[in-house]
Amino acid sequence: MGVGSAQGLWGSGHFREAAGAAARAINAQAQAKLGRRDASEAKLLSDAFSTNAPTPGHPRLRLGADGGGDTFRNIHDGAGNLARGLFSAIRNPLAHEDEIELEENEALEYLAAFSILARWVDKATVEIST
């Protein structure tokens, strides 16, 4: 998923495009996993990682069971916050600001951050309303 989709671009030195491709791939996987096309990127993943119960049309991504303590809330709040930050502060400027170019080391850091989010989306279970 995510970072793997950027491999070809990375190999040819297109670091900005590789980071953008990773973000787009994570979004596509999350949309497919959740069966949603009505939202994307930060909005989609913020909603998906919400600790609220799922509602029709708003399934949740769960990174573990709710044991009633703070850990469940902290993990899911953190995952939603990371997604919002990555899409708002990295993906959106890369997509909309033509003058941004990335050095290899900065792009690698971006890919590492997106890789964490990709792993969480991949390993999460989907909880639907009943």
Q: Where are the domains of the chain?
A: 2-127
Q: Which of 47, 43, 46 is closest to 55 using CA atoms?
A: 47
Q: What is the mean pLDDT of residues 105-128?
A: 97
Tell me, yes or no, if the pTM score tops 0.85.
yes
Separation in Å, CA 94 to CA 19, 51, 80, 81, 99: 8, 30, 20, 19, 9
Q: Which residue type, as a one-letter code, is found at position 59? A: P
Q: Which of 2-11, 42-51, 71-80 has the lowest mean pLDDT?
A: 2-11
